Each structure stands twice: as structure tokens, then as C-alpha cells.
Structure 1
Amino acid sequence: MTVWGASSVALALPLPTYPEVRAAHRPSDLILLDRHGEPIQTIRVDPTARRQPWVALSDFSPALRTSIVLAEDHRFHAHTGVDWAGLARSTWANLSGSGATQGASTITMQLAGLVDGDLVRPAGGRSVAGKLGQIAAARQIEARWSKAQILEAYLNRVPMRGELVGVPAASQVLLGKLPSGLDAAEAAILAALVRGPNAPREVVVRRACALLTVQRIDCATLGPAAARALGAGATARAPQPAPPNDAPHYARQALRAWQALPAPRPATWRTTLDAPIQRLAVHTLRRQLAELSLRHVEDGAVVVLDNATGEVIAWVGSSGAALSDAAAVDMALARRQPGSTLKPFVYAMAFERRLITPASLLEDAPTQLMAGGGVYAPQNYDRDFHGWVSARVALASSLNIPAVRLGVMLTPDDLFERLNAWGLGLSHSGGFHGAALALGSAETTLAALTNAYRGLANGGRLGPGRQVGSAAAAWLVGDILSDNAARAVTFGLDSPLVTRGFAAVKTGTSKDLRDNWCVGWTDRYTVGVWVGNAGGEPMQAVSGTTGAAPVWRALVQALHERDGRPSRAPPLPPGLVRQLVAGDARPARDEFFIAGTEQAEIRRGEHARGGADLRGIASPKPGALYALDPDMPPKVQRIVFQGEPGTWWLDGRRIGQGARLAWAPWPGRHQLELRLPGGRVDSVRFEVRGATPRDAVSSVPRQVPPQ
């Protein structure tokens, strides 16, 4: 190919236009915006170079524009892409060997190499054909671009010191200033760096001084600028002003969504976060943890969700490096024991199955339950027992023993399955956790738990087509968790759980005070807060009301103050009725019931529709283990089932009825159900081990098919 053929190829391939070059510019940092367009977080997405967002020519200081033109192309405004006189002088000097090798590339010719990779200067210098191609490209740019567009693109694309690309990046990193604020000395330093980005300090200063001399400015002004821009470690200095850093943990999730977009990806990405609420959550959490610093607690997390959409309004994954030794860990996604925050799901399931009503009387008394190979004796947080209480008081005041008994009635396996249907992602199995599952022995995350509470706020619905529990049961739980009088047994009448408008809220504390939670919802938002230590160390005397609850209340009140109205209680859903209830546990009051379970009077020891108490199956205990003796006659080996009068079912088959039934044991794991009047069902699992007794097969009672 001839020399002129090479130049004609360059002319035949159109270069990108100014709008195309500007649109293709990608900063090295992704800027995350909140829902209103306010910058809230930056993320480095290009580790190979550091570029700032595109800067308009009018936002470069006049001193900078002057220095760049003087240093690189003093005839820039006069030529049409090529400085023919300068090119001739450069060619003669280079060919004659009369002096140092000179270049004659104009700003436009340099820009051609910056926007077209095929025109980049080779390491060994350009050939004649390459130079002609560059000239042709420069002429093409000048014919289609304005001088202002050319200079603007050049300033944004020219390589600078180290990883810096573009004058805006160099200005902020090396000098800590926006390019609009550069003075003559600072502009001269940057212009000198364009000629030799990685030149030694003395060379850069000498060239900068020459530029100032041409402008009749004293070179003594270079000192401070040179010290900042050319000092050791200058390129590693953080950009100033500091980028927004309000949501570093949520940014990881946003980055994954941004990376899934087809190229070219946008330089900014709008999230659902609300910047004022996000910053308030960060500030409130840190302030609360600072106050708790003497109680050996340093970590926390916050999640705020929009009830209707599930959008994340705020997400704080850590208390920050100033307080935490694990600031990089997103504790909103860390698996921890949720404690009593699982109780609302236990009660919702019991209401839904009509095992109890909010008015049912539950006994809060010392209890021992079979658990694995031993006995489980749950206690309340205050180490006290409260006797017979209504289910409303038991849930609102977070009494442990009634919740454990309900969990046993529901069976750990069924409860485990339901909790995972709420999206909690519990591991192992219901049998593994046993009776302690109702008290939050399994691990989940704050994000999952907060979203499950959002499901309760939405009438048992997690999303379109995901109706996990009944709307009536979810409403009953919300009504109880918003009842300040019912929670007074444990929390008193004036606690951080009290808000100006409607709010259903529950606290939780895990074993040995390792985790502290407060999760609840209003008519528009669900807020979850966790406080503890990332390493799992126990806190000292930190309860739900002293740890997470103050943060929760501050956010709930701020959200509704911003909305200009308090939260309103949800309307009564279909299937619920109001009934005046009298009894010997508390004064007569209006109570809500799932239709068909309502009662006008409830007293201890009585069995009424809806299940006034929890006697159910008295024996065997959940998880009981029996051993067969092969040396004893089968007729004397019987397991006696005892409980309320009802129909007994074993492993899905009806085996008899009444309050007492003797059963010839058979090895294996079994599920026993007692089906009671009013639709109540009590269920336990137990196991029979040992050799099969002689003639045992003939001694097993005939099983009646299911009816």
C-alpha cells in the first residue's frame, strides 16, 4: 500500500463525532444516586485508570485553558487541524539531526489518537504512513467538530500522571481542586505534565516555569503547587472533595445490578435509597452504639423497606470503621439468632390453625419439655412466671413459655417449614432445633427477617402470588404487637416501642445477649435493626429496649414526620369479628376473633371454641424416646396416649378416640395427632427404638383407614 493509500484509509473510516465521544466517556467510579437523584455512594469500577465524569470546557479555569494551548499547540485557534509550519520545522530538525527530536502533533492530531485506537502513537514512534493517517484524521475532526469541542474532549481524555486520565482527575487527585478553581501556577504544573506525564519533578517544574514566564508570571508561585502535585504518594491521594460514602454495603448489591446491564453502562445508577433517611439511619445507629460502648457492643445494622413495593429505603450494614473492627462485613446479611422476633410467626400460624385466639388463656409456668437427648426448660427474660395470661398478653409481652408450648403444638417441623416459607432461610431442620425453634434458635439475616415482617404488614403476602399466611392471622398479630397495654407486663407503659401513630413492633435477644433486635412496621414502612458484635461476643446488660429499639423508633418517627402524617392502623380484613369477652384473667374487653372461634367468656380450665388452653396431648411428650425389650411379652408392652377427649391419629391413620388410648409400640419415628372439637389439632413426634418383640406383628391393633 502506498503512503497516500494509508491516508485514504483513515479518511474512509469516519471517526466518532463529538456527541459520540462524550456519550462513550465512562468515569472510573460509578456514582450511585438515591431515588431523588442525589449522589449517595461512589464505587470504583475501572481499576486500570482513574477518570472523572466529563467536564464541560466552561468548567475549566481560563488559566488552565491558556496553559494547555501554550504548552501543546499555541497556533490551535488558527490552524485547521495541522500546523504545517511547525510540521515542516519538526521534519527538518529530525531529518537533519540539527537538534533534539521534535514533535509537531497539534491538539487535534493528539485527540485523533485518543478517540481512535488505531491512531495511538506506537512505542517506537510513528511511521510516515502513520503520520499521514493522523493528519487525515485531524482534518476530519476539524471539519466536523468546533474548536471548543476539540479542546474539551482533549482535556477530558489526555493521559496524565500514573493511572490518571484527563485533567479533571489530575486536578482533583494531585491538587485537591476542581478544574474550575485552578490558578496559573497549578495550571502550568498540569500543562507540563501533559507533555511528560511521568517526567521527573525537576523537568516538570522547569517546563511549568517556562509557561509562566511566557505569561509574565513569577515562577516563585510554583512552589506550593509543585509540592502538592509532585510530592511522594501524590497519585494515591484520595480525590477531594471526598466522594459520597453513605451506603457502602448496599453499593455491592447495586453494583451487581449495574454490571448486569448491557454495555455501554451508565456512569450513574439510581437506587431506591432515600439519602436523608439513609444518613439518619447511619447517624442514629452510630450515636446509639457510642452510648452503649461501655456495654461491650460495637456493631449494628439497619434495613428500611417500603411495604407496598419492597424497595429498600435505607440499608446500613455496619457501624463503620470508627466503632467496629469488622466494618467491611455487611451485618444486614450476616446470619444470627433472631430470638423472640420469631414469635409473631408462631402465633400467626396458631391463629390460622385455630389452635388459639387472642383471648385464649395460656399458662406461663415452669415447664419441662423433651428436647433431643435431654429436657428443655424454657424461662422468661425476667426469670419470672406470670401464671394464666391471654395469648394477646403472652405475645405482646414476649413471654417465652407460652410461645414454646405453641411451637410444640404446631410441631417443630411444620413451624420450620412455615418460617422458611416466610423467606427466613433457616438451616438444618425443625427436629434439629426442636422446641427452642419458637424462641429463635435458628439463624437468619436482618434483611430476610425485615422482609418477612413486611409480609405480615401486607396481610401475610410476601409478593405477587406469595400468600404465606392468612390475612386475618397477620392482622391479629399486628393488632397485638401495637397494643401498648398488652406489652406492659414486660415493657411497661413507657418504652421505646411506643410511637405517635400505629406501629406493630417486636424485640428479640438471642442466647447470652449475643444479638439484639427490634423489627416492626407502620402503614407504609417496615424497619429492622440489629445490634451486637460481629465476632459473636456477648453484650453486657443490653436488652431489646435499650439496644436496638431506640434506633427503630427514631427512624419510624422520622419517616412519618417527613410524610407529614402519623401511621394509621390497617382496616379489619374479611373473616374477623369483634366480640366482648369476659373472664378471670383480665377485665372484660373487646377482642378480635377469626370467624367461628369467637367466645363471650373464657375461664381457666375450660375448653371452648378456638382453644382456650393448651392441654391437648399430655403424653407422650414431644421428642419422647421409647425402647422395646425383646425379652418381655408383647402384650405387656404398651405406650399409653393421654390427653383431651378426641380422635387419635398415628402416622396419618386413625387409631382410636377418647382421652386415653393404649398402643402396641412399633420401631420407628412416629407422628401422633389428637384431633379435638372445634377444629383444633395437637401433634407430637416421638421415636421407638429397640429390637422387634416376639409376636409383635400380631399384637399391633388393626388400623382403621382414614375417614
Structure 2
Amino acid sequence: MRLGFRLLGVGLASVTLAGSAWALPGLAEVRAAHQPSELTFVDRHGEPLQSLRVDARSRRLPWVALDDISPALRVSVVLSEDRRFLEHGGVDWSGLARSAWANLRTLGHAGKVQGASTLTMQLAGLIDGEHARPAGGRSLLGKVGQIAAARQIDARWRKRDILEAYLNLVPLRGELVGVPAAARILLGKHPSGLDAQEAALLAALLRAPNAGREAVTRRACELLTLQQLPCAGLEGLAGRALATGAGARAGQPADLAWAPHYARAAWQAADVARRATPGPLRTPLDAGLQRLAVQLLRQQLAELNARHVEDGAVLVLDNASGEVRAWVGSSGAALSDAAQVDAVQARRQPGSTLKPFVYALAFERRLITPASLLDDTPTRLMAGSGLYTPQNYDRRFHGWVSARTALASSLNVPAVQLATWLTPDALFERLNAHGLALTHSGGHHGPALALGSAEVTLLALTNAYRSLANGGRFSPVRLWPAEPAGPAVTAWKPAASPAAAFLVGDILADNAARSLTFGLDSPLVTRGWAAVKTGTSKDLRDNWCIGWTDRYTVGVWVGNASGAPMQQVSGSSGAAPVWRALVQALHEGQPARPPTPPAGVVRQITVAGDAPASGGVAEYFLAGTELARLRRGAHARVAGSTALQGIASPRDGAIYALDPDIPPAVQRIVFEGEAGSWWLDGRRLGQGARVAWPPWPGRHRLELRLAGGRRQQVGFEVRGAQARAPAPGSPPTAPAAPNASPPPPARR
């Protein structure tokens, strides 16, 4: 016993010396240094939207003030760990002496002492790792340092501050740190709502955080008994809270899971200063719009579920600042098997959504005007070793149409012709100037680049449309709020001329011009002004709807993350309804206004052909390109077709790619030439100068038998996956879900 008190006296002297030369931080500094493992993202108005785990080593929640912690928990913790907490000065000397004497034999064998640590002494180890308990136990000198720190804390901190810091920092079961995390993960409650049994259960974990259920239950019951409270039901509570996997199953509250994909993307892009900022992180999102976008997307995909559609994404950008107002990366786990995949950043084929950039470049180079007449007739272009024959969505050709109608109605032949005249390399450079970051060269894609053969992300494509909304000026998307003077200091780069961007926007907002394909009453019609374009990729794997108003640019993608094809879902039936609903909500009570023509754009009455002057229509032109009377071929180059004696179409070696956008029952390849008898693969098809045939995948031999015994044969190939064999005695029908090889089929 004398040796024990001698050692204690040495320790007291050391404590005095150490306490005079060393200082611990105060409560304010400890609270400021506390970094939750899960950050809360709030919208631009401060409304919570998303919680994100950013520290995989431990799980900590935001700091909770003592007044917001259940009184029952405070009582149980003090009873469990330090019953004389309110009486001692940071160190329980009587308890320390008893502990020192009891550990003399341990000191003799292993040099370690244990026990008698007050809440204050434990806190010293929590706020300074130098005083934390080592895995093998604490040495005598280590105990002395812990005592010195505890005395210093008690001299400078209030008791309630000590208890508050301890409850927020103490490790509990597994990865859980602090009672706020333990209360939410194990019990599903905020620490303010804990009852006496729940409080006793958490306090019991302090003594042995990873003990078995029976030991924890027994210890919790002892604490309740000390308070003269019943233990009935405690065993069931402990079983539920401590069950294997309970912590892993406990996720974030449903009301904080509206923008998981945005939160991950924004956190990865955050600068060092923002990562170090304590407390909720303010984002440029709009909580109401974000929730609406999620709900609209899920509702639309639920309705399309029978057509094999389960994934989608939505992005809304502020035109002026580039800030994200809504970011929905997935339809969610209830609808999708790939809910963790962020479809906003996934690369997919954009289909016809690239056509506006083709026309903008053609306008800018003065190859055409919106009034120019383009020839929408069968066209054959060399593509690799075969012939590329683009076709339209309705499988019809419309002859001479204006460039306005061709773009608005998404006709494919004129777009491919323009891409040929511009050259694929020039188009490739222009698309990348709009931020699409295409990876393959223009020569790799050829003219099919105009129909979306490359792959882009919804993030890049929507921002590219935003550049059109801003008069051809490009700037990056802002994942975090802009500075107060954000729009004024945005780093704009020219991507297209303001005049060309205006012409494209005016055409894409023209409901009459797009009626040729979409009709007058389609999901693209809005109450106010909006420029919009749809697109569908090959095999119906993706469809898109992208457009802008005077304030916002909205992009929607619908498809399958797995790449599986949809069934009869195009951009107008899949993505467009979500797009329109969002545009209507964004401009509720304040319809969007059309833009003012920029310098260099003039408006003039144009008369077609020999029509009387009174029958003209007003059209926009780049200054110097306007015409009062327009005839075929004016301001347009026409790709001629090659006429052959005998078989005019198809050419020998032609390759046809089946179009996934067109219902199989109406897909046809038209054989044209001199009047005669047409035979395919040894079977007679029909008589005349023109015969339509429902295509079937494979290599085929076509023969035309003419008068006088003349015969001509050509070979061609139809590419696509065979869906089913034809019924006996019936002609083959086109497959329902082809898998066309390049060059790709037509898009809308």
C-alpha cells in the first residue's frame, strides 16, 4: 500500500508540472474541428436535400448540443461511467488510488495500469490522441499525462460542456462514433427522443462497445435498476438494435435522399476549402424542382415499364450562370437494377439531338438559309465498303422541303447531306467546341455523325444546348453556387455565331414547322416560347429530349443502363413528356419569352417558286443571304442519285441497316428500275418498275428479268438481329429489335 501511495505522489507532482506547460483546446475549437462522416447537402434556399457518406473509416453525425440530447441518456451515461462527475475536479482521486493499489501486481508483471478514468479523463483522450488509451493498455506515464489533461479541462470547461463533447466524440459499437450516430443507426432516433431503456442500452455500450447482446442487456438492466426503472422489453430492444447488419441496413432518412448522384459528383469536384467547411453544404439545386423531376421521371418510367424501359435521367441548368437546378441520375432502386449508375454522366448515343449543331454550322458558313429548299429523296452515300442510305422515321421521303421544316421535323436525308457538305471533321470540331468531348474523329463516324453515331453524356449535351440558348457562347456547368457576381465573370468561349444560334432556336420553337413529323399537338408544345429537339439512338436503346427557354435548359434521357433496347419508345413518347412537364413548372405564372434577333439577322417576306407575292411568308436570314423569291436549288446543294439501266436501286454491294425507330410492320426496301419481273433469292416478288419488300437480315441476291431475255443481278446485305422466323407460307417480316451495324439507321 505504501508503494501505491508513493507512486501516486510521483504522479501528482508530474501532473502539476505537465499542467503548467501544456494546453488543450476549448469546446469551441473541438466543435469546429468535428467533421461528420455524412455531410448534408442543402438547396440554394437552405432546405436539406441529400446526405452523403464521405468518411468510410467511421460514422459520425453533425454535432448535437447537450440541450438536444435526451436527459435520460445524460443520466445513464453518468451512472455508467462517472458517478462523481459533478463533484470531482476532473480526476476521482479516491477511485484512482483504489485502482492504483489494485493494479500493483499488474504493474509488476506487465508495466500497465488500468481503470478509474473519469468522463473528463476519457474526453482528454478523445480530443488529443496523445492521451488515448493504447491497445495494450496505458503506461504509468501515460496515465499521468491523461490526469494532467483532465485537470486542465475541468479548470477551463463547464461540466455541461465536458458532457456535451464526450457524448459527441465517444466511440460506440463498430464504426459508430458519438451518441448521435449510435442513436440514429442502432435505434432510428435523434438523441433528443431516446427513452430510458434506449438511453440505458447506449450507455451500456460505453463500457464494452462490441460486447454480445446478453452482456449489453445485463449491463443496461443494471443501469435501469439503479434508477428504479423496469427492464421489461429490454431484451427485445437490444436484439433489434444489435442484430447483425443492423448498422449496415440503416441508411439515410428518406427525406435526405433526393439527389444522391449530384452529391457524389459535386463532392468529387469540390475544392479543398469547400471540403473543409463544417456544417451543411449549400448547393445551387432547387429542392422543389429536384423532387418534381424525380417524381415525374419515375411516373413516366412506370408507365413505360411494359415497353422494357427502366432507367432515365434529368438535368436542369440555369442559362445565365450554368448552375445546376436539378440533377436526377437514376429512376431509383424500385424501378432500376442499376440505380447507382449516374445516367447524367454516362455516355450514350444522342440520335437526332446533334442535328441543331449541323444546321447552325451550315447557316454560319452560309451554305443554306432557313428558307433554302433541301431535297429529301432517296440518297446513297459511300460508307466504308458499302452504301449508306439514310431514311426518315416515317419511312417516307418528302421531296423538296425548306431547311426550317427539315430541322424542325428531324428529317434525316437533309441532315446527312449537310454533314457531307460541311465534312465530318468540321462537324466534329464544332461539336467539341460546344463541350461534347467526342473521343473519335469525324472520319471515324463519317456523315452518320449528323445522326448521333458518337456518344455523349446528358451533362455535356444539355450544356451544349445551353450554349445555343446563350447565343452560341459556351461555359462549363457549375456544380456549386456561383459567386455573387457569377454570371458577370463566367468564362464564356465562342462556339457558334449568335446569328446562327438564333436561327436554330427559332426553328426548334416552330410548332408548325415540326408538324410534318410530330403533328400540331405533341409533347413538344409548351405555353411559352421553348426550343426543343428529340433524338433516338439505334436499336431504340436511348431516347432524348433537350430544349431551352429564356431562363433554363432542360435535358431528359430515357432508356436502359444495361443497353437493352426499348420497345417502340421514341424521344417524343419517352423523354418529351417529362421535359414538357418540367418546362411548364419552371415557367408557371411567367411564360418564357422569345429571344430578340441579334445583329446580323434580318426578317424578310419570301415567296416560293412562281407563287404570287401575296402568298409569301416571313423568314429570318443572315444579312446578305436573304431572297425575295426562292426556287428549288437556291441556297442549297442537291445530292444527285445515279440512274442505272435495269436495276436503279439497290446498287450492287449496298448495305441496309434496319431502323429501330420504325415499327417492323411498315419497314420496306423499295427496288426500282426498268419495268420487269423482280426475283429475290430465287423467289418471285412482283412485276413493274417499283416493288417494295419487307427487309430480312442477311445477304440477298436480287434479279430483274426484262423483255427479250435480259437479266440483271445485284447483291446487297440487310443488317439486323432476327427476332423471329416467319410463319409458314408468309413472307418474312422485319425484326422487332434489330442490332444494326454501322453505318447506323435513321434517327428522329
- Taking structure 2 as the reference length, the TM-score comes to 0.78
Residue of structure 2 equivalent to 1:282: 294
The aligned counterpart of 1:700 is: none
Which residue in the other structure is 1:54 paired with?
63
**Are 1:305 and 2:317 matched, yes or no?**
yes
Q: What displacement does 1:5 show?
A: 4.2
- Per the alignment, do residues 150 and 242 of structure 1 end up closer, same or farther by CA in structure 2, a change over 3 Å counting? farther
Q: Where in structure 1 are there 5+ consecutive unaligned residues?
A: 620-707
* AA in 1 matched with 2:228: R
Deviations 1:635-665 (A, max 9, x none): xxxxxxxxxxxxxxxxxxxxxxxxxxxxxxx
Deviation, 1:528, is 0.8
CA distance 1:567–1:461, shift in 2 (3 Å): same
TM-aligned CA distance change 1:515 to 1:62, over 3 Å: same
Once the two structures are superposed, the pairs formed by residues 379-528 of structure 1 within 5 Å of their partners are: 379-463=391-475, 464-528=491-555
| Partner of residue 367 from structure 1, selected from 362, 374, 379 | 379
Say whether 1:230 aligns with 2:242.
yes
Asked if 2 retains the 8 angstrom alpha-carbon contact of 1:177 and 1:240, the reply is no
Equivalent pair of 2:213/2:239 in contact (CA under 8 Å): no
> Which range moved further: 576-585 or 106-115?
576-585
1:614 alignment counterpart = 637
Deviation, 1:618, is: 9.1
Output one character per residue of 1:319-347: Cα deviation in whole Å (capped at 9) or x when no partner: 22222222222222222221111111111
In the aligned structure 1, how far is the partner of 2:224 from the partner of 2:346? 58
Q: 2:590 aligns with which of 565, 583, 591?
A: 565
1:264 CA displacement: 4.0
Residue 240 of structure 1 deviates from its aligned partner by 6.5
Q: Which runs of 4 or more aligned residues in structure 1 lie more than 6 Å from their structure 2 counterparts after TM superposition?
A: 616-619
1:538 to 2:565 alignment: yes
**In the alignment, what sits opposite 2:702?**
none
Question: Which one of 630, 635, 642 corresponds to residue 602 of structure 1?
Answer: 630
Q: Spell out, residue by residue over 1:468-487, the C-alpha distance to the aligned partner (whole angstroms, 9 max, x if none).
A: 11101110110010011111
Give 2:278's aligned residue: 266
Greater Cα offset, 137-146 or 473-482: 137-146
Q: Which residue of 2 aligns with 1:703?
A: none
Distance 2:407 2:91 in 1: 83
Change (3 A) 1:496 1:275: same
* Counterpart position of 1:576: 601
Q: Is the 8 A contact 2:99 2:114 kept in 1?
A: yes
2:51·2:252 contact (CA, 8 Å) conserved in 1? no
Match of 2:18 in 1: 9
- 1:331 aligns with 343
Q: What's 1:293 paired with?
A: 305
Q: 2:133 maps to which residue?
A: 121
Distance 1:542 1:162 in 2: 48
> 8 Å contact 2:409–2:518 — kept in the other structure?
yes
Secondary structure of the residue aligned to 2:31 is helix
Deviates more, 1:258-267 or 1:110-119: 258-267
Is the Cα contact below 8 Å between 1:93 and 1:102 reproduced in 2?
no
Match of 1:70 among 79, 82, 104: 79
Q: Which runs of 5+ in 2 are unaligned?
A: 1-6, 107-112, 476-490, 643-748
* C-alpha spacing 1:371/1:6, structure 2 compared with 1 (3 Å): same
Does 2:63 align with 1:38?
A: no
Give the SS at the match of 2:281. strand
Partner in structure 2 of residue 690 of structure 1: none
Q: Equivalent of 1:253, from 248, 260, 265?
A: 265
- Deviation per residue, 1:457-515 (Å, 9 max, x gap): 00011033411111011101100100111111111110000001010000111222222
* Per-residue deviation, 1:242: 4.5
Q: How many residues get paired?
A: 609
Counterparts of 2:294 and 2:252 in 1: how far apart (Å)? Answer: 22
Secondary structure of the 1:80 match is: coil
Tell which deviates more after alignment, 498-507 or 84-93.
Answer: 84-93
Q: Residues 231 and 368 of structure 1: is their aligned pair in 2 closer, same or farther, counting only changes over 3 Å?
A: closer
Task: Describe the SS at the equivalent of 2:405.
Answer: helix
Measure how far apart 1:83 and its partner are. 2.1
Does structure 1 residue 109 correspond to structure 2 residue 121? yes
Cα separation, 1, equivalents of 2:370 and 2:282: 44
CA contact (8 A) 1:7 1:133 kept: no
Give the counterpart of 2:177 among 165, 173, 198. 165
**1:64-122 residue CA offsets vs partner (Å, 9 max, x unmatched):** 1111111111221122212223333433444599xxx9732211111111111111123
User: Deviation per CA, 1:643-702, whole angstroms, max 9, x where unpaired?
Assistant: xxxxxxxxxxxxxxxxxxxxxxxxxxxxxxxxxxxxxxxxxxxxxxxxxxxxxxxxxxxx
Which secondary structure state, in structure 1, belongs to the residue aligned with residue 85 of structure 2?
A: coil
Rounded to whole Å, the distance in 1 between the matches of 2:25 and 2:553 is 50
Task: Select 1:529's aligned residue among 553, 556, 559.
Answer: 556
Report the Cα distance in structure 2 between the residues aligned to 1:102 and 1:318, rounded to whole angstroms: 53
Matches of 1:192 and 1:518, distance apart in 2:
57
What's the secondary structure of 1:177's corresponding residue? coil
Q: 1:123 to 1:421 in 2, by over 3 A?
A: closer
What CA deviation, in whole Å up to 9, does each residue of 1:621-641 have, x standing for no partner? Answer: xxxxxxxxxxxxxxxxxxxxx
Q: Distance in 2 between matches of 1:131 and 1:267?
A: 35
Could you say what secondary structure the match of 1:431 adopts?
helix
Q: Contact between 2:44 and 2:282, CA under 8 Å: does it hold in 1?
A: yes
> What is the CA–CA distance in structure 2 between the aligned matches of 1:123 and 1:5, rounded to whole Å?
24
* Segment drifting more, 338-347 vs 578-587: 578-587
For residue 606 of structure 2, give the secondary structure of its aligned residue in structure 1.
Answer: strand
Describe the superposition over 1:334-367 as per-residue Cα deviations: whole angstroms up to 9, x where unpaired: 2222111111111111111111111111121111
- 2:94 aligns to what? 85
* Paired residue secondary structure (2:546): strand
Identity of aligned residues (%): 69
Give the conservation status (yes or no) of the 8 Å contact 2:313–2:344: yes
TM-score, scaled to structure 1:
0.82
1:309 and 1:136 mapped to 2: Cα distance? 55
Q: Which amino acid aligns with 2:207?
A: R
